[in-house]
């Protein structure tokens, strides 16, 4: 039995707390919000973010960050991406040398263009920072529906240790050394999912959705490989797999926000209606910063930025994508003479 601290009591943190407690581990969940902790203690359910998922009685809940971080085999950092740095900064004095931290949020920091593991490493240099990612809606994991993810670490031994801690009959875990590729796939798929949602809101069909998913992973992979990520990662669970589920599911807050924008809601109205952090919004600007830094064209992500922040009508953004210059689909496949 491992001692595990979950930093963050949102839907994903709570789903993973249940999973890990069901696996037989000793789990403590932290939230900065006292009312949230009291609700979890009294109801054994997150009635706002994961309704209907009953939590085991042996999970502890606390607002004491030091106690949650101390003497743990694993810490799971499950706060929304905009709060990763501030939370890591608050944790740093409580973290032992070599402490394993599993980041499960997805995003890119706009100011620095860092992935979230890079943010955590900067704030907590003594920690061993790892990543868990893949097509894994909290609503389904909480209900015990079959799910497959990837854990990324710099050392194979650490990855396999985490694989054993998280894996069970309905939660399959692969391992990978390509942390950068995993994180880029997880962050940028949220931006493409906004585009897919916008297309849904405009009333487009399956053809448009398939095109956005396919050309979206092309953009993600092109940028990711320019930054040092591996081609295989973008073809796998944390690349195309995560992109498919986020573009297709109504569990996806990014897709839901996009639908509202496509239906004519303003950016602010869409965010207010979704009532959860839409992480693709925070990664969209950062993606354009990476596009400029690495000289990689990201036409779908560029149009999402123009709709979100430039006041461009969603229908005009589609026209811009459809009206781009004629091209071969695969530039590295030559014509036979």
**269 near 260, Cβ under 8 Å?**
yes
Question: What strands, in cross-sheet order, belong to the sheet with 26-30?
Answer: 60-62, 26-30, 3-7, 74-77, 100-103, 128-133, 147-152, 171-176
Sign of CA dihedral 327, 329, 333, 337: negative
Enumerate residues 6+ apart whose C-beta is below 8 A from 123. Answer: 85, 88, 89, 91, 92
What DSSP line would sit under 254-299, residue for residue? HHHHHHHHHTT--HHHHHHHH-S--HHHHHHHHHHHHHHHHT---H
What is the number of other CB atoms lying within 10 angstroms of the CB of residue 261? Answer: 24
Structure tokens at 35: 């009312």
DSSP E strands in 153-204: the ranges are 171-176
CA distance 3 to 239: 31
What DSSP line would sit under 104-158, residue for residue? ----B-TTT--BHHHHHHHH-TTSEEEEEESS--HHHHHTT--EEEEEE-SSHHH
CA distance 201 to 180: 32
Q: What is the dihedral of CA 118, 283, 297, 264, to 10 degrees?
A: 180
Which of 189, 209, 275, 293 is flagged as catalytic? 189
CA distance 21 to 55: 9
Strand partners, 173: 149
**216 near 195, Cβ under 8 Å?**
yes
Q: Is 327 considered catalytic here?
A: no
Active site residues: 189
């Amino acid at each position: 039995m491992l001692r595990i601290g979950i930093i963050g009591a949102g839907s994903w943190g709570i789903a993973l707390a249940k999973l890990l407690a069901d696996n037989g581990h000793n789990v403590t969940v932290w939230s900065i919000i006292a009312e949230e902790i009291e609700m979890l203690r009294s109801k054994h359910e997150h009635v706002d973010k994961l309704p209907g998922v009953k939590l085991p009685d042996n999970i502890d809940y606390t607002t004491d960050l030091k106690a949650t971080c101390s003497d743990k085999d694993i810490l799971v950092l499950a706060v929304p991406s905009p709060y990763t740095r501030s939370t890591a900064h608050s944790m740093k004095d409580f973290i032992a040398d070599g402490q394993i931290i599993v980041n499960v949020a997805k995003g890119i920091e706009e100011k620095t263009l860092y992935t979230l593991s890079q943010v955590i490493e900067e704030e907590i240099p003594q920690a061993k920072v790892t990543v868990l990612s893949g097509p894994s809606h909290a609503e389904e994991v909480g209900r015990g529906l079959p799910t497959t993810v990837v854990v990324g670490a710099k050392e194979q031994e650490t990855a396999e240790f985490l694989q054993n801690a998280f894996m069970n009959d309905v939660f399959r875990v692969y391992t990978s050394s390509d942390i950068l590729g995993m994180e880029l796939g997880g962050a940028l798929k949220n931006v493409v999912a906004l585009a897919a949602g916008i297309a849904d809101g405009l009333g487009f069909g399956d053809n448009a959705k398939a095109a956005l998913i396919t050309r979206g992973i092309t953009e993600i992979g092109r940028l990711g490989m320019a930054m040092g990520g591996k081609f295989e990662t973008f073809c796998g669970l944390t690349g195309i797999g995560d992109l498919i589920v986020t573009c297709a599911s109504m569990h996806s807050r990014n897709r839901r926000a996009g639908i509202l924008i496509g239906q004519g809601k303003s950016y602010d109205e869409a965010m207010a209606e979704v009532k959860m952090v839409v992480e693709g919004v925070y990664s969209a600007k950062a993606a354009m910063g990476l596009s400029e830094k690495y000289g990689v064209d990201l036409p779908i992500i560029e149009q999402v930025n123009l709709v979100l922040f430039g006041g461009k009508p969603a229908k005009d953004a589609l026209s811009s994508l459809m009206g781009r210059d004629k091209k071969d689909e695969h530039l590295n496949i030559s014509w036979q003479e």
